[in-house]
Amino acid sequence: MKKNVKAVSLLLAFTIMLISCKKDSNDAIPENSVKYEGVEYPLTTGYLEYYGKVSGKQSYNMDLTLVSSGLTIYEVEGEIDSVSGTGNILYFEIFTSDSNALDSRTYIFDPEETHEAGTFDYAIVGLNLNVLTFEGDYFAIVSGSIKISKKGEEYEVSVNCRNGTGKDITGFFKGTLKYFDYGDVDLKRSPARTPSFFKRNF
C-alpha cells in the first residue's frame, strides 16, 4: 500500500513539474506588442520601405513600421498610398548596410542624424491612435536601441527606447516583414522626402 501511495505521489509531482515547465516555457515567449507605462499594446504585422543609398555613406535608408490590426494599409502599384483606422504603430527610420534587408545587429538612436549604418534617427510611437483625427497617444522616441535578428525570411525585433519625458518604450515583434522598394533616392539632395507611414500621414 505504501508503495502505491509513493508511486502516486511521484506521478503527481512529475505531472505538476511538467505543467510548470510548460507554463514557464510559454511565458518566456514575448507577445508581439509595444509596452508603455506598464500597459502592452498589440502589434500584428510590419513592413520595410527601402529609400536608397545614402550619398557619401556606406549605408542604406530602410524604414521599419510595425502596426496593429486596427489599421488598414492601402497599396497602389506596389507602393503604400495611405493608411486609415485606429491602432498601434512603431515607426523607425533606420540606416543599414544591406539594401535588401535589415542586417542583424543593434541599431542605436542617433540625434545627430549622421545616417551611418547601425543607427536610426526619426522614430515615432502611436498608441490607440486614429491616423486621420490624431485622437490617441502619439510621441517621438529620443533615445535607445533596436535589436534586429533575421533568420531566413523571419525577423525578430526588440525595442528598448525612451521618449522625450524619459519614459520607457519597449517592444517585441517576431514575423515576416513585407518589403517595398522605392528605388534609389538621393537622401542628401532630398532630405524632405516622404519616407513612410508617419511622414506621409502626420
**pLDDT, position 166:** 96
Do 139 and 178 belong together in one domain? yes
Beta-bridge partners for 95: 61, 119
Do 76 and 9 belong together in one domain? no
Do 70 and 24 belong together in one domain? no
Backbone φ/ψ region at 133: left (φ over 0), alpha (ψ -120 to 50), beta: alpha
Domain count, the chain: 2
**pLDDT, position 184:** 56
Do 44 and 25 belong together in one domain? no
Say how far apart CA 123 and CA 136 lie, in whole Å: 17
| Closest to 172 in 3D by CA, of 78, 94, 98, 88 | 88
**pLDDT, position 10:** 42
- Write out the residue range of the structural domain in which residue 12 sits: 1-30
Do 108 and 13 belong together in one domain? no
C-alpha cell of 35?
Answer: 509596452
Contact 33, 40 (CB under 8 A): yes
Do 78 and 113 belong together in one domain? yes
Chain-centroid distance of CA 173 in Å reads: 6
**pLDDT, position 15:** 43
Say how far apart CA 55 and CA 52 lie, in whole Å: 9
Contact 72, 85 (CB under 8 A): yes
**pLDDT, position 75:** 86
Local confidence pLDDT in tens for the 202 residues of the chain: 544 544 444 444 444 454 445 444 445 668 999 999 999 999 999 999 998 899 899 999 999 999 999 998 888 887 887 888 999 999 999 999 998 999 999 999 999 999 999 999 989 999 999 988 889 998 999 999 999 999 999 999 999 999 999 999 999 999 999 999 887 544 444 433 444 555 555 4
Do 197 and 140 belong together in one domain? yes
Say how far apart CA 179 and CA 85 lie, in whole Å: 22
Do 111 and 133 belong together in one domain? yes
CA distances from 165 to 37, 123, 144, 169 (A): 12, 15, 13, 11
Contacts of 198 (CB under 8 A, 6+ apart): 89, 91, 122, 124, 126
Do 2 and 53 belong together in one domain? no
Do 140 and 41 belong together in one domain? yes
Do 21 and 51 belong together in one domain? no
| Closest to 153 in 3D by CA, of 105, 107, 102 | 102
